Chain A
Amino acid sequence: MDNPETSFDVLVVGAGPAGMAAAVRAAECGLRVGVVDDNAALGGQIWRQSGEEHTAEASAWGNRLGAAEVAALFGIRVFDQPRRNVLLAEHDDEVQELHYQKLILATGARERFLPFPGWTLPNVMGAGGLQALVKSGLPIDGKRVIVAGTGPLLLAVAAYLRKKGANVSMVCEQASWGRLARFGVGLLRFSGKISQAVMLRSELSGIPIAVDSWVVEAYGSLKLESVMISRSGKRERLACDYLACGFHLVPNIELPILLGCEIRDGNVKVDEFQQTSISGVFCAGEPVGIGGIDAALIEGEIAGLAAAGHTREARSLFGARRKARRFAAALERAFRLRTELKQMPTPETLVCRCEDVTYSRLQQHHSWRAAKLHTRCGMGPCQGRVCGPAAQFLLGWNPESVRPPVFPVRVESLASATPEQ
């Protein structure tokens, strides 16, 4: 099983900023490194390639990746670990074994979605979700868009959509002025962020930004037609073509949980070298705590160097990581979800979109496990990736375990994954 194409000194799962930085640093130490991703290209969600959006930073890391001869494999979905040092992945309906000595998990994050009446209507999407659709060609010129939810992504998405010709009628941020103001003052400590904020402000000029505001209900018959928002306690109905609604991010920790990595407060627990509770398995970026791109890059570098045994160089980056993590902590404080958002769903609102399970049916149970058994909540194709974090916020439930496959795969792939006799 020493096929050089699928056997690596260091295997990195996830080709976003953290994974790219990890792969580059490990490969520059002379190791044979592979990076795999479900997507079709480097960059993860944040650097999702579409020509014009390609930042200088992304190209620089991409060039280093190529120069260091990292093997990048795309369209790869890791779904199981049949035995130590081996992962199983699906690729073009074929099952592949990936062999490694050291493993770096850089699985990134996804948007958090919270249910409200009407959120299942077509054209109600995530904030990052609508941006991704527009990047992949959705015509948005002249469309009326409301951006809502929470987090720094909302303003970036609003600016992007406007640049693409959308008529962004409002940004609704659930956080209060007080929290945002404290965050703004905190920004002064991060000089790089100030110029970004100033630029964003000019790109957003003229778009009303409402704080203490959230969506109460979305209306429409076959697709979205209008939205009722609560704006500082007052209700207001706005006509729109799209609602881009996301509540910051949740880390993708399904694969780390499957491998047995210890989780603390919803994040993968790591030591100072980004090593998880499992020796030889590292984790970097959002899964260790939502921290944005700067934290992801630094942690990726530390993980890559540490996996290659270059601990002294890794140690030299600890200061930069501390700074990036302080920014992450400030983000967390500013955009913490307010408890009023738990009132958004009515008893009839669907929480699980795969199996159409209402909020009232979930409320009849006392745990995620019991609700899954009795209602099939979280057992559809998304495997709880959408409703799990919603149930966690609304009902305080924690998903207790992950069983393979961590991603829906073909029955044939599962059959080939059964343990050898």
Chain B
Amino acid sequence: MPREIVLRVNGSPVSVPAGVTVAVAMAIAEQACRTSVTGEPRGPLCGMGICFECRVIIDGKPHCRSCQIVCEPGMDVRTDG
């Protein structure tokens, strides 16, 4: 079994296997990654960092492509703002 790590998604703790990306943590947390300009929920599309649909706010930094970033313990991930 891979080691589990805990991060926070919109304030709630989420436990994920070590080594997975933030996009995967969002799926495990059953959360959309962002809300579109007309209010639609959105998640990853391309999985390779070009579509920006999976962007989230990580530790206060906006526009992070969650499919390209590996989870770290204690990371604060937010979808609002």
Contact = CB atoms under 8 A, between A and B. Distances in A.
Interface of A: 38-40, 45, 110-111, 113, 120-126, 128-133, 136-139, 222-223, 353-356, 380-382, 385-386, 408
25 contacts: A110-B46, A110-B48, A120-B36, A121-B41, A122-B41, A123-B43, A125-B44, A126-B47, A128-B47, A130-B47, A132-B46, A133-B23, A133-B27, A136-B24, A136-B47, A137-B17, A137-B20, A137-B21, A223-B32, A223-B43, A353-B51, A382-B51, A382-B52, A386-B50, A408-B63
B13 interface: no
B78 interface: no
Contact of A353 (B17, B45, B49): B45
Q: DSSP class of A's interface residues: helix, strand, loop or mixed?
A: loop
Interface string B50-81: 11110100000001000110000000000000
B24 A138 contact: yes
The 8 A-B pairs at the shortest CB distance, nearest first, are namely A137-B20, A132-B47, A122-B43, A129-B47, A381-B52, A137-B24, A136-B21, A356-B38
A286 B24 CA distance: 29
A113 B24 contact: no
B43 A356 contact: no
A113 B47 CA distance: 13
Contact of A354 (B23, B27, B48, B52): B52
Size category, B interface: 20 to 34
Contacts of B49: 38-39
Given A133-B24, A137-B21, A356-B36, A223 B41 contact: yes
Given A223-B43, A380-B52, A137 B67 contact: no
A142 to B, nearest CB: 14
B75 to A, nearest CB: 15
A132 B49 CA distance: 10
Contacts of A128: 46-48
B1 interface: no
Contacts of B67: 132-133, 136
A133 B32 contact: no
A126 B43 contact: no
B48 A356 contact: no
A150 to B, nearest CB: 17
A34 B12 CA distance: 43
Counting chain A CB atoms within 10 Å of each CB, which of B19, B33, B41, B47 scores highest?
Answer: B47
B26 to A, nearest CB: 9
Nearest to A358: B38
A111 B47 CA distance: 10
A128 B44 CA distance: 12
Given A354-B52, A381-B55, A386-B51, A136 B46 contact: no
B48 A113 contact: no
Nearest to B21: A136
A101 B43 CA distance: 41
A125 to B, nearest CB: 6
Given A128-B46, A129-B48, A136-B24, 6 more contacts: A39-B49, A120-B42, A123-B43, A125-B43, A128-B48, A129-B46
Contacts of B33: 122
B16 to A, nearest CB: 8
Contacts of B43: 122-123, 125, 223
A382 B55 CA distance: 11
Given A120-B36, A223-B41, A136 B52 contact: no
Contacts of A385: 50-51
Contacts of A129: 44-48
A123 B30 CA distance: 11
Contact of A126 (B21, B28, B45, B52): B45
Contacts of A110: 46, 48, 50
A126 B28 CA distance: 19
Contacts of A131: 47
A382 to B, nearest CB: 5
A122 B51 contact: no
A125 B51 CA distance: 11
Contacts of A139: 27-28
B67 to A, nearest CB: 7
A136 B20 contact: yes
Contacts of B63: 381, 408
Given A120-B42, A356-B37, A382 B24 contact: no
A341 B11 CA distance: 43
A349 B75 CA distance: 36
